[in-house]
Structures are given as structure tokens and as C-alpha cells.
Amino acid sequence: MEKQLVLLSLAFSILFSTVVSVRGISSRVCSSENQDGKYQFNSSGIHLTLHHPLSPCSPVPLPHLPVSTRLTHDDSRVAFMEAHLSKNPSSRLASLDRSSDMVDQLVSTPLTIGDSVGIGNYITKIGLGTPATSHIMVVDTGSWLTWLQCSPCAISCHSQEGRVFNPKASNTYQNISCSASECSALESATRHPSSCSTNNVCVYQASYGDGSFSIGYLSRDTLSFAGSSFPNFIYGCGQDNEGLFGQAAGMIGLARSKLSLLYQLAPTLGYSFSYCLPSTSSAGYLSIGPYNKSQYSYTPMLSNSSNDSLYLLKFSRILVNGKLIHVSSKAYNTSIVIDSGTMISRLPSDIYSALSKAVVAAMPKTPRAPAYANFDTCFKGNVAKLRVPAVSLRFQGGATMSLPAYNVLMDVDNSTACLAFKPAKSVAILGNMQQQSFSIVYDVGASKIGFAPAACQ
């Protein structure tokens, strides 16, 4: 055990959460094309199968959790993102220690380290090392580094499906030294310095919106997807991995940051990726590289100087049953983070109240139900049986998401469905509940984000 690691891990003893999207689990059997671990490499890039964290088709399906628990974890992720965006990033560690509400949430979160819960992001598989071994990974647009648990798990590894990656068994594994440029890139990605182990290996720290973290050695090895491989891929070899990663081995970071998977593969594949986040009853995909440009409607990809690794966009208007909701055009002039790991979208509060009113007005015959957790717009009934109004989100530049009923209302129990949006505290977010079933392309090279409907179920 190395002392630095212990100290770092203490500094990161913060809250937890899981962020899980909710749709009724279907009894539909996973079809063969939905099986995990199918990846392809062709002239249109790399294609990985994505699974909803609750899907029975996932290689690591999560156990049942009450909706209220998932919502609590979703709030924790959002609180952490707010902290990143609103505070001076260079004082992030200190600011986390001081944040009393986060400590409170740690105490009240009814989950313990190692629980098989998972942080609720979508799941895929990668190959690593020579000879390649297969690992189940969580995919996150809010993360800047790819890491996985590594033997000997010097401090802690959570339980995972499949063998823990063993660097000693890979002929191509290398430690990154503290003086390497990749080690300095860590600092610019996290804006707090990397540390150095006693024998001069660069030590990374990755922490998440839900308080989970991984700390270990920055490493280099061959990443592989079916027929193709990418040598010298930089990732974290985790020696202290604590939190709610489900049974996954680690995390794929897709943020706009030098060390993310996207930026490392971009010289070969191009600076773009697309995904379709599936419901629990289907499978979706993550594609890296070229995409079919005519398929999408686009909005500009914006930047925020407080955190330039997040993906941002702006609404232009929102319609309910074809009618504009009542909100000033100024209210739309707010950057929204598009995030794969936040479940429920957080709308600027003016927009949220106008949307809630318009949805209520569009469902005059449906009896209201009491508020559920922080959802204040609830109805008696289930999404499958209710006449859910058409909600259309328009973005600057004309991109449109016409939301299917399951992306508008969410079944919170057997007889209650609630509007699946919340008012934002400080950071507005387009969450995965609303993204489900759309193909969404992040074209970082061309600074635009595109949407196409009905790409997966």
C-alpha cells in the first residue's frame, strides 16, 4: 500500500449516487443482435452495443431499486456537477471537503460501498492488453478519463463481473512516469495536480458526480475492439476503486478532454461519436468515428469556461401539442449540459413551470396524483395507458427532439406517472430519460450536436 493513495482516498470520501433511467422492464427476451460484447469496426467507425443499466440484456444488470432511491442518486450527481461548474475548479478538493450538504447526503444515502448498484450510466465492453482480455465498462459523457480496476487492487476493488485486469499478464502494459506529458495532461483535465508514487509512476484520481471514485496508476496499453486495436491507449489502472459502479470493471470517459477515449481515438477515427441510449427492453449503440451526416438535425455545441470538458447546447423553444409554452425568449438563453449519466432533465425554473402548466392543461381529463419525491406534476395512471401530450424540444439552429411518451412522463409506481423533468437549481441538464431512443451525435470537430429520432427502442 502506498501512503499517497490512502491520503488521496480519504480526500475523496464523499457522497454516492446512482443514476438510473426508468422504464418498465419488459419481459421481451434479448434478441441475439442485442447480446453484449458485439463490436464492429468498419469504414463508418467503431460500433459498440450499449445496454441500459437495468436491462436484463446487460452483462451486469442492476437489481431492482425504488424510483425514489434512483431519484436521490440522480440529485447527488447533479449537485456534484453544479459544484464543478459554479466553483473555482482549482479549489475543487477543498470545496468538496467544506460542502456540508454533500456530507449529509453521504450519511443519508442508503447504500454501502460495494453494493451491486452501479452508477446508472450505460454499459458496454472493451478489450485491453496483449493478449486482449474483455472488460465490462460504464460509458459517461461527463468523464474525462477511462479507467478500470487493476490487480493487485492495492487498496480496494469493488466486486465486478469477470476477472480484474492484470497488468502483469499483458505484454504491452506500461506505467506512465511522473515526468511524461500525459501525466501533466491529467492536471489540465482535472485542474488539480496528479501525484507521484514512490517509484515515479503518475497517480490519477477520478471522481464522479455520485461520489464514487477511482485512484491508481496512469498507464498505457493496447485497446481493442473485435478486429481492430489501438496501441498506446492511456487509461487509469485503478488500485482504489470505491463507489457504485455496479459489477462493471470501470468507466469509459467521453468528455471533451485530451485523455478521453474520444480524443485518443480521434486521430484515427475523427472527432465525433454518436450513441443511442436504449430502454430496458432493447439494446442501443455507441459509435466512434464517421457518421451519416444527413440523418441528423443540428444545434451548435457550446463551451463554458468553468468546465470546458462538458457538452453544452441551448434551447430555442418548447412546444406542447404543437403550442409554444409561455416563456420569454430570454429564458431560453441558458446553456444546457447534455449528459449521458444524469437521469432527469433539469430545466431553467421559468421553463420548467411553463412546461408543467402546459402539460397539465393538455391532460384536463386525467386525475392528478400527489407529488412524488421532487416530482410535483403527477397523474393517476401509467404511461402506457395515459394520453401523454406531444412535447417537442427545439434547440438553437433548428435541431428538434419530439419526445416519445416514455421520455415525457415516468411511471413512479403502479398507479402514478409524473412529468420526468425538474427545475434546475443552477445547472440546466438534458438527461438520459429524455435522450432515450434518439441517436445523438457529438461532432466535436465541427462543434455541433445532432439528433435523429427512433434509432433504438
Interface positions with ligand NAG (CB under 6 A): 40, 42-44, 47, 80-81, 84-86, 89, 92, 142-144, 167, 173, 175, 190-191, 197, 199, 201, 209, 217, 292, 294-295, 304-307, 309-310, 330, 333, 335, 413-414, 426-427
Q: How many CA atoms, within 13 angstroms, populate the side-chain half-sphere of residue 37? A: 8
Length of the chain: 457
Identify whether 140 is a catalytic site residue.
yes
DSSP string, 85-113: HHS-GGGHHHHHHH-HHHHHHHHH----T
Give dist(CA 190, CA 309) in Å, integer: 10
CB of 170 to ligand NAG, least distance (A): 9
**Which of 202, 57, 71 is CA-nearest to residue 123?**
57
CB of 265 to ligand NAG, least distance (A): 16
Please state whether the peptide bond connecting residue 131 to the residue before it is cis, i.e. omega within 30 degrees of 0.
yes
Among residues 221, 339, 411, 443, which one is catalytic? 339
Among residues 36, 140, 221, 240, which one is catalytic? 140
CB of 22 to ligand NAG, least distance (A): 14
Of residues 209 and 381, the one with the C-beta less far from ligand NAG: 209
CB of 389 to ligand NAG, least distance (A): 26
CB 215 within 8 A of CB 222: no
Give dist(CA 46, CA 273) in Å, integer: 9
Of residues 78 and 433, the one with the C-beta less far from ligand NAG: 78
Of residues 58 and 210, the one with the C-beta less far from ligand NAG: 210
Give dist(CA 9, CA 131) in Å, integer: 31
CB of 40 to ligand NAG, least distance (A): 5
Identify whether 101 is a catalytic site residue.
no
**φ/ψ of residue 405, rounded to 5:** -50, -40
CB of 424 to ligand NAG, least distance (A): 9
Q: Which residues contact 124 (CB under 8 A, 6 or more apart)?
A: 36, 39, 48, 49, 50, 51, 136, 137, 139, 252, 286
Of residues 144 and 165, the one with the C-beta less far from ligand NAG: 144
Of residues 17 and 389, the one with the C-beta less far from ligand NAG: 17
Any idea what the Cα angle at residue 215 is, between residues 214 and 220, rounded to 5°?
Answer: 100
Of residues 94 and 361, the one with the C-beta less far from ligand NAG: 94
Q: Looking at the annotation, which residues are catalytic?
A: 140, 339
